[in-house]
Amino acid sequence: MVISENKTTQVKPLSSFLVTLMAVSAGVAVANIYYNQPILKNIAAEFKATETQAGIISMLSQIGYGLGLFFITPLGDKLKKKNLIIGLQVMLFIALLLVTFTSSIVQVWILSVFISLFSVSVQVIIPMAAGMDSRNRGKTVGTIFTGVLIGILAARVFSGTIAEWFGWRNVYLFSAIAVAGVTVLLKIYLPPAESAFDGSYFQLLNSALKQFGRFPQLRRLSVIGMLQFGLFCSFWTTLTFHLSGSPFHFKSDIIGLFGLVAIAGALLAPLIGKKADKGESNRVRFMAIGLIIISVLMMLIFQSSVIALATAVLLLDIGAQALQVTNVALIYTLDESSHSRINTVYMTSFFIGGALGTFIGVLCWEFGGWTWVTGQMLISALLIVVLLIKEKRQTQS
């Protein structure tokens, strides 16, 4: 196994056009994981499926992305990154087109896995950009992360509006057109980037797995990330069912507008997350989980209030994003030479947690409605508190 120096590190900073293109491409790709959340009711109605069956779509989307994170993104260290990105984008385009021809909920399930699997091109774009621009690495990666964040949160607004006015299938058709457009531009303008890992594919995966055993802190942060993203996905999946039923009876376009509140919350989160750079990571994480607990309690107590729900969404997103930003900052302090593989372990665990949280949330909705959903979210939040307290005691001893 030989690790060679990345041959694509640039003396000159990347052009603003290329950085913007990579940011837009990343946002367009990652949005496909979240398009389904506001339109689950629409899909269920067309195929005469239950809410539980429709909710499985969101769960499978998280599973597909988790599989892609572990089995595909490490290839960015072995294959030519540009070829890998273009290949994933082409497969994503095909999968999106196929959704528009589905005739059963099972077909939507299967294609949801593949859509999310191929959407991991974003996790190849980010490290590629970091390796290509050593002079402005932080600024470049920050710009692309902004594109990712906007893509994730705007996806709900976009899909809800398109589904209401043009039908849910056109959500995927319009996304396919967007993916095709950025893929052509990436093919033209994205420079080549050589791989840095000379070992076999199985050596690459084995090296990623070993990171989990190397660092106790990585294991703790992975569990915290699983719980946090699990409750987050549980909320967003079941919120569609809650808002489309009594007493709200909202349509998909109105449900999607809650994504605008989420965008505001997520954009405020970095202001809190900056404190992690000043050695205040524990304080930030306790503040973040505190906001999440307050948010869940508001959802539980004021179940029929739109204002309370909107406020809760704002607090939930501030807390969740601040917790995530701090966790990621901490994992990058473990071993500078293994950032990609450490990130693979953490993000794979993160999306496994999202899949489990979605599944549990749908089951809770089926058996106990919104009260059960918020109850299990509160349990997850309290478990995070226990883990944070335990970690704080260990670091102080």
CA-to-CA distance for 111 and 289, rounded, in angstroms? 34
* pTM, to two decimals: 0.78
First vs last C-alpha separation in the chain: 39
List Cβ neighbours of 315 (8 Å cut-off, separation of 6 or more). Answer: 265, 291, 292, 294, 295, 298
Identify the band that residue 272 occupies on the pLDDT scale cut at 50, 70 and 90.
Answer: low
CA-to-CA distance for 32 and 43, rounded, in angstroms? 16
Structure-model confidence comparison of residues 291 and 131, the more confident one: 291
The whole-number average pLDDT for the span 272-287 is 70
Reply yes or no on whether the pLDDT at 4 is more than 50. Answer: no
CB 37 within 8 A of CB 58: yes
Is the omega angle on the peptide bond into residue 74 within 30 degrees of 0, that is, cis? Answer: no
Reply yes or no on whether the pLDDT at 136 is more than 70. Answer: no
CA-to-CA distance for 214 and 342, rounded, in angstroms? 10
Alpha helix segments (H runs only) across the chain: 16-30, 40-47, 51-71, 81-99, 105-118, 122-132, 137-166, 169-189, 201-214, 216-244, 252-256, 258-273, 281-301, 306-331, 339-396
Mean pLDDT of the chain: 86
- Give the pLDDT confidence score for residue 6 in this predicted structure: 42
Reply yes or no on whether the pLDDT at 147 is more than 90. Answer: no
- Give the pLDDT confidence score for residue 365 in this predicted structure: 95
Per-residue HEC secondary structure of 117-178 comes to: HHHHHHHHHHHHHHHHECCCHHHHHHHHHHHHHHHHHHHHHHHHHHHHHHCCHHHHHHHHHH
Reply yes or no on whether the pLDDT at 196 is more than 80. Answer: no
For the stretch 208-233, pLDDT in tens is 888 888 899 999 999 999 999 999 99
Domains and their CATH numbers in the chain: 1-199 (1.20.1250.20), 210-397 (1.20.1250.20)
The residue type at 25: S
Which of these, 37, 59, 36, 40, lies nearest to 49 by C-alpha position? 40
How is residue 237 written in tokens?
């999946």
Return the residue matching tokens 């072995």.
78
Q: What percent of the chain has pLDDT over 90?
A: 52
CA distances from 235 to 264, 294, 382 (A): 17, 14, 16
Q: Look up residue 8 and give its DSSP letter.
A: T
Across 65-74, 186-195, 244-253, 292-301, which has the greatest mean pLDDT?
A: 292-301
The residue type at 65: Y
SS3 62: helix
Considering only 49-53, 192-196, 197-201, 386-390, which range has the smallest mean pLDDT? 192-196
Q: What percent of the chain has pLDDT over 70?
A: 88
